[in-house]
Amino acid sequence: MIAEAILDCARTPLTRGINLVEASAGTGKTYAIGMLVLRAVTELGIPIDQILVVTFTKAATEELRSRIRQRLAEARNLLTGGSSDDATINAWLATVTDRQTALERLRQALGLIDRAGIFTIHSFCLQMLTEQALESGQLFDVELLADVGQVRTQLVEDFWRSHLYPLGPRVCGIVADKYPTPAELAASIMVPGLAYGRILPDSVSFDEATTRFEKCFLRLASWWQQSSAVLYGYFQKAQEEGQLKKALSEELSFWWDSLSAWFDGEGGLPKHLDYLTREGLLEGLNGNKFRKRSKDDFLAEWPLPEQLAMDVQEMTGSILLALRLELAKTLRAELQHRLQEQGHMSFDDLIVRLDLALANEGEGLKRILGERFAAALIDEFQDTDSAQWRIFSTLFGGGSHYLYLIGDPKQAIYRFRGADIFSYFTARNAAHHQATLAHNYRSHPLLVNEVNNIFSGRVAPFCFPDDALPFHPVLPAKSEKDGELLQNGERLPVMVYCQLAESDKDKGRWSSGKAAESIREYVVAEVCRLLDHANPVTCRKEKDGAVSATVLAARDIAVLVRSNHHADEYLLAFARAGIPAVVGSKKSVFETEEAKELLTLLAALATPGDMFSVKRAMTISWFGLTGNDLLAIWEDESAFDDRFNRFLSYHQSWQEKGFLAMMNRLLADEDVYLNLARAEMAERRIANIHHLLELVQETETAEKFGPDETLVWLRAMIAGKSGDEDRELRLESDEQAVRIVTMHSAKGLQYPIVFCPFLWYRSDREQRAELVSCHEEDGLVIDLGSAEIAKRRLKAAEETLAEDLRLAYVALTRAELCCYTMWADVKPVKGRVASSHESALGYLIFPDGAGGFPEQQQKLQAFSAHPGVEYRLLLSVSESSAHHLKPPANELAMRSLSPGERTLVTNYQMSSYSAMASLSEQEDHGAEPPGDSVAEPGPEILHPGLPAGASFGNLIHDALELFPFHSLASGTAHGEELARLCRRYGMAIETPTVQAFLATIVTTPLLHGEGGFALAQLDEDRIVSEMPFYFHMERLDTRKINDALSGETTVTPLSPKVMQGYLTGFVDLFCEHDGKFYILDYKTNFLGGNMGDYRPDRLISAMASHNYGLQYWIYTLVLHRYLANVLPGYSYKKHFGGVLYLFVRGLSPAMPGNGVYAALPSQEILTRLDTAVGGGR
């Protein structure tokens, strides 16, 4: 193991190779990265665009970019005579020998800062794959999916249908009894790493398992028919004598009937088949009746079909295991294939594909990508995985690059997202140099020392050997003068250990629920005390002899919880105490109670004739009805009829006026906001309702949903298919509130005061889990039920404890001035909650075992001997007794403000051509010709039977954009690439068919006579495909456009609207031929099956129905303005050749000009149009 050095960001020499930097909490990791970039630019002379910085979130990239720019600017100012009170950058300045060269390099770097390679891991992989698409063997253009859940669900449902539908009722019943839905079957195998971990057992055949089960079942069924009556007599006698436990005794008759039905082929798998075995039945015997006689002796006489029942149970388990194994392997094999067929790629696929490309494409791709950057700094490296490590080590770990891996393995807490601390260990072993950041710049010096004491107090504090994950105590960078808390002139402790007093039940031990409740009551009461305006807590700071003090506010306090459920409990408790609080999580508004109540309401409004749905909706809090109110209404026929008729009226309003209009009426008529205002957290609840209504309205409008479709969509969103845009909105009042944050979300954050009320908690649910994932020598293992699963459970439990310890480290290092650490002696509940002695905090502070309450108290009291540390014993505190008295409001006279001259209403916008075209007073978006149109005579089009719809249009557009026209003319080129495009757009069309169609498009003369030309004849250097434009609109009034183009048969008038700003769009093709410039646009509209359907005179109606005429006038004006600016001696009559709209289905080399709408817009009308949109600016 390489000895670790202290990293001095200003002086430590920068070295090639793999440099591993451990940045403990609060040690200034982001600052260090900025300094390393600064030194790479000035000392190594590496251009800023050849320095790669990778982090893991978009927000982090923006922060890093800002910090790096700030650091470079600060260094530039120092070199030009400025000053700084930053000791580190001043120390760097002292090392600079050639200041002029350093200054020139800094100026150049700042000028190119927007080209700096600062990426998330996913954006880095995407750019590398995109830039080297051919070398990496990737698609040119795919759609990225943030969530592949929908595609995975489709695969699971396909699997369910293909495997369960052919089964007989007996086997199908076994599966459906255990997993009633495809989603529940999928949940039994879903685990991080499923895509790459080793799945065990290796092979269990589903078909073989079902065959063996049937044989075992028939043997047991035969026994049942012959011998069950005798066995039942034994059960009846035991029941009569009270020898069975109450549950078995009461359900004996029902259980026996269910067995009989199952053996007769009439029922599903009965519960407690194990009662037919001695081991299973032992659990059903009443132990009080067997004081003198053992249970085993009692059962020795029973004629149980023990082996037969055990065989059936074993085969039942084998069927379920085999099915889960096949599903896991199907998802692994088919998910990527299904995504690729649909032209999609997940964010994780980006990493996997770059990893595979580097492995499969040899040294060429490695060299190309490696030459892009001379230095690479990987932020948050502890959250990497094996594929990411292979990418970085392959590209930059060979010794010629400066590779810095910066992170803190003690904060590797995202295993549930696929992060793998074992990849960090692999990198540690491969590192050429190792260093640590030694000083904590976040916390009070005494708090830094106490955290050091906690983690130094036992061997292997993170449950790994010290050579794998050591703990290096950090040094405080701050002094007490940098901040301390005072109340009544006395210093408050920096660490408070709070121990819950003994419970009056269960030998002094608490249940986890009661412990959490008691601790919550204390936390709320303590926060009330800290925020007491009559006895305020102040934060005192001293700088350069000047003393400042600020009163502690609610926003200075954070409570770190384990889950969103715990967060909601604290939010409600603070609300009851009158303390403003906010949950600082990424919770979706669809996870709130308001979403569930909205769903209940809409279900009734969608089916108002359903009396039960209406009654259910009346129970939601929006109507403010108590149980007595509801009973009175339901018993009063006229009162209920009134409510019922109101629901019918809302339903009619929804259908006639739309969702939002209906909901606004309901909210007003039913006094919903007034009802909610009487409840707790009214502001948050009303904000959530507004947010939900906006989201539903947007979706209903965009998707043209009716009530039933809206209901289905809302139900799916609540079920967990929401996205980032659906997070709860932040309120202005949230800025002044206590922060309630999950420990996972708190990473990277800091607060003056932090409460840690859940470090005693540890889940025991993994003991009941159907699968186990853990690491072995050959990597991640996912065990769905092998013979070794019990052993692996122990290993998985160790890994879970190790992550809990890292989570505890994160929690304990968030505080700046004070941390409250809670302890409770909690008893275990098997399969649910582990003993608190086995928790992360128990592991750390009781290395020799927790012992009883006195031993625990003695240990915790001993900590109070440390400077700045206090011990408290928590007695019962009633939550209702804790109440925060707000400071009296300032009595200020209210006065009205004079209205300002500025208006917040504006017509200024960035608008697309499509948005303008949507203002057309008549539109026809149909892909097919009108049903009453008469087919034109003439020959059939060359390529009949091609698909209709937007996907086919996108396919043709992409092909004409991506591939040279002259190569498409052969009719045989680009087969593999075209096949990929077909898969991307989900087109079930043969590649030769597409090749032939494209060949026709590019070889057809587009105009009659000598001036005609085909696309294949164009000079590739004189073509611009998909030309984007930004068209300035001074003040565009659509009525003036209508006036200017009033005589044009292909233009549909626009609805009145005033627009300012920029109009944006893309021109399919802009080209020059024989000295003239042309605008071309491709249309795949199906106008009919004969060539005559695509004659120029027939194309006029198609142009008008989609307002393509307006489109080509705007495009012509864009090109006219552009050429006037860039082409010397430009003349519209001399240089502009016209517009050509290619209705490609009607093209034929034998009929030049057919399927082509050609026009040369009048220069006089063009001038009027130019004036209408702003006068040529």
The whole-number average pLDDT for the span 198-211 is 89
- Mean pLDDT throughout 302-320? 93
pLDDT of 697 over the 50 cut: yes
Single out the residue of 1030, 1032, 1023, 984 nearest to residue 1002, CA to CA: 1023
For the chain, what's the residue count? 1177
Q: For a pLDDT cut of 90, what percent of the chain falls above it?
A: 51
Among 809, 87, 806, 743, smallest CA distance to 474 is for: 809
The model's pLDDT over 237-251, given as tens digits with 9 standing for 90+, comes to 999 999 999 989 989
State the DSSP code for 965. Answer: H
Asked whether the CA dihedral 583, 586, 587, 590 is positive or negative, the reply is positive
Rounded Cα distance, 792 and 798, in Å: 10
* For helices 593-606 and 611-618, angle between their N-to-C axes, nearest 10 degrees: 150
Per-residue pLDDT, averaged over 680-690, amounts to 85
- Mean of the pLDDT values across residues 551-576? 92
Contact (CB, 8 A) for 206 and 323 = yes
Question: What φ, ψ does residue 874 adopt, rounded to 5°?
Answer: -95, 115
**CATH 1.10.3170 location in the chain:** 146-342
Say if CB 1116 and CB 1044 are below 8 A apart.
Answer: no
Query: Bigger pLDDT: 733 or 1135?
Result: 1135
Q: Quick one: pLDDT at residue 896?
A: 44
Superfamily of domain 589-727: PCRA; domain 4 (1.10.486.10)
- Reply yes or no on domain 4-142+346-437 having CATH 1.20.120.530: no
pLDDT band of 924, cuts 50, 70, 90: very low
Percent residues over pLDDT 70 in the chain: 91
According to DSSP, the residues that pair with 541 across neighbouring strands are: 548
Per-residue pLDDT reduced to its tens digit, 630-664? 988 888 888 888 888 888 889 888 988 889 889 99
Quick check: 797 pLDDT over 80?
yes
- If one compares 42 and 638, the residue with the highest pLDDT of the two is 42
**Residue 200 pLDDT:** 92
pLDDT tens track for 1092-1114: 999 888 899 888 888 899 989 98
Is it the case that residue 6 has pLDDT exceeding 80? yes
The predicted-structure confidence for 1122-1131, as pLDDT tens digits, reads as follows 898 889 999 9
Residues of the chain with CATH 3.90.320.10: 908-945+1019-1172
Q: Which residue has the higher pLDDT, 825 or 364?
A: 825
Per DSSP bridges, beta strands 1156-1159 and 546-551 are unpaired
Among 50-59, 500-509, 677-686, 952-961, which stretch is predicted with the lowest mean pLDDT? 677-686
Q: Is it the case that residue 895 has pLDDT exceeding 50?
A: no
* Residue 872: C-alpha distances to residues 472, 516, 655, 937 (Å): 29, 17, 62, 96
Strands 375-378 and 51-55: parallel
Q: What is the pLDDT of residue 295?
A: 87
Query: How open is the CA angle 840-841-843, to the nearest 5 degrees?
Result: 65
Q: With contact defined as beta carbons under 8 Å apart, do 1147 and 999 qualify?
A: no
292 burial level (CB within 10 Å; 0-12, 13-18, 19+): exposed
1092 known member of a binding site? no
Write down the pLDDT at residue 909.
54
> Mean pLDDT: which of 618-622, 766-770, 1037-1041 is highest?
618-622
Question: Mean pLDDT across the stretch 204-233?
Answer: 93
Asked if residue 598 lies in contact with residue 692, where contact means CB atoms within 8 angstroms, the answer is yes
Question: In angstroms, what CA-CA distances link 190 with 72, 563, 744, 770, 1171?
Answer: 46, 20, 21, 10, 62
Q: What tens digit of pLDDT does each residue of 988-1021 get?
A: 889 999 999 999 999 999 988 777 899 999 999 8
Q: So what's the pLDDT on residue 951?
A: 77
What six digits make up the tokens of 1167? 């001038």
Q: Which of 172-181, 335-344, 1007-1016, 1096-1105 has the lowest mean pLDDT?
A: 335-344
CA–CA dist 590, 569 (Å, integer): 18
Give the model's pLDDT for residue 610: 79
pLDDT at 63 > cutoff 60? yes
Nearest to 113 by CA among 41, 177, 48: 48
pLDDT score at 134? 56
pLDDT at 405: 96
Kindly state the tokens that stand for 292.
């003198």
Name the pairing type of β-strands 751-756 and 557-561.
Answer: parallel
Copy the structure tokens of residue 566: 């715990």
Q: With left for phi above 0 and alpha for psi between -120 and 50, is residue 1061 left, alpha or beta?
A: left
Is residue 103 scored above 90 in pLDDT? Answer: yes
- 125-134, 280-289, 1161-1170: range with lowest mean pLDDT: 125-134
d(CA 1047, CA 1161): 12
Instruction: Kindly state the tokens that stand for 22.
Output: 């451990």
- Tell me which architecture the domain covering 475-584+736-774+801-881 has in CATH: 3-Layer(aba) Sandwich (3.40)
Question: Is residue 888 scored above 60 in pLDDT?
Answer: no
Q: Would you state the pLDDT for residue 728?
A: 55
Q: How confident is the model at residue 892 (pLDDT cuts 50, 70, 90)?
A: very low
Tell whether 815 is in a known binding site.
no
pLDDT higher than 60, residue 556: yes
pLDDT at position 136 is 55
Could you tell me where in the chain the CATH 3.40.50.300 domains are found?
Answer: 4-142+346-437, 475-584+736-774+801-881
pLDDT of residue 10: 92
The band of 195, judged by pLDDT with boundaries at 50, 70 and 90, is confident
Is 27 known to sit in a ligand binding site?
yes
Task: Look over the chain and give the mean of its residue pLDDT values, rounded to a whole number.
Answer: 86
Residue 336: which residues within 8 A CB-CB, separation 6 or more? 349, 352
Range in 70-79, 585-594, 1085-1094, 1103-1112 the model is least confident about: 585-594
Residue 818 has pLDDT above 50, yes or no: yes
Question: Does the structural domain 146-342 have CATH classification 1.10.3170?
Answer: yes
> DSSP strand E in 231-385: where?
344-346, 375-378
The pLDDT, as a whole number, for residue 1067 is 87
| 131 confidence band (pLDDT: 50, 70, 90) | confident
pLDDT number for residue 904: 46
Distance of alpha carbon 250 from alpha carbon 239, whole angstroms: 9
Task: pLDDT band for 188, please (50, 70, 90 cuts).
Answer: very high
CA separation for the pair 331, 153 (Å, rounded)? 10
pLDDT over threshold 90, residue 318: yes
The pLDDT of residue 333: 87
Q: Which residues pair with 751 in a beta bridge?
A: 815
Of 678 and 857, the one with more pLDDT:
857
Report the SS3 class of residue 244. strand
pLDDT at 379: 94
- Report the distance separating Cα 1148 and Cα 940, nearest Å: 11
CA 781 to mean position of chain CA atoms: 25
Q: Is the pLDDT of residue 236 over 90?
A: yes
In angstroms, the CA 601 to CA 667 distance is 12
Distance CA 1159, CA 1167 (A): 16
Can you tell me the mean pLDDT for 372-382?
Answer: 93
- For residue 70, CA distances in Å to 113, 698, 1046 come to 11, 40, 56
Give the domain 908-945+1019-1172 fold.
Lambda Exonuclease; Chain A (3.90.320)
d(CA 709, CA 701): 12
Strands 484-487 and 490-491: antiparallel
Q: Token pair 């940045």 is at which residue?
A: 23
CA R_g for the chain: 36
**pLDDT tier, 923 (very low <50, low <70, confident <90, very high otherwise):** very low
Q: What are 538's strand-pairing partners? A: 486, 551
Establish whether 548 is an annotated binding residue: no
pLDDT tens digits, 485-539:
999 989 999 999 999 999 988 788 999 999 999 999 999 999 999 999 889 999 9
137 pLDDT exceeds 90? no
Q: Which residue is associated with the tokens 């039913």?
A: 670
Q: What are phi and psi of 866, to 5 degrees?
A: -75, 145
Confidence of residue 3 (pLDDT cuts 50, 70, 90): low
H-run or E-run covering 184: helix 182-187
Please answer whether residues 375 and 50 qualify as being in contact, where contact means their C-beta atoms are separated by less than 8 angstroms.
Answer: yes
Q: pLDDT confidence of 877, banded at 50, 70, 90?
A: low
* Range picked from 958-962, 1056-1060, 1169-1173 for highest mean pLDDT: 958-962
- What are the strands of the beta sheet with 402-407, ordered from one edge? 4-6, 433-437, 17-23, 402-407, 375-378, 51-55, 117-120
29-33, 80-84, 867-871: which range is least confident on average? 80-84
Q: Does 23 appear as a known binding residue?
A: yes
pLDDT at residue 931, as a whole number: 41
Write the CB contacts of 368 (distance below 8 Å, at least 6 apart in sequence): 132, 135
pLDDT > 70? residue 921: no
What is the Cα–Cα distance from 122 to 54, expressed in whole angstroms?
9
- Indicate where the chain has its CATH 1.10.486.10 domain(s): 589-727
Which residues have a Cβ under 8 Å from the Cβ of 609 and sit 6 or more positions away? 648
Sign of CA dihedral 243, 246, 248, 253: positive
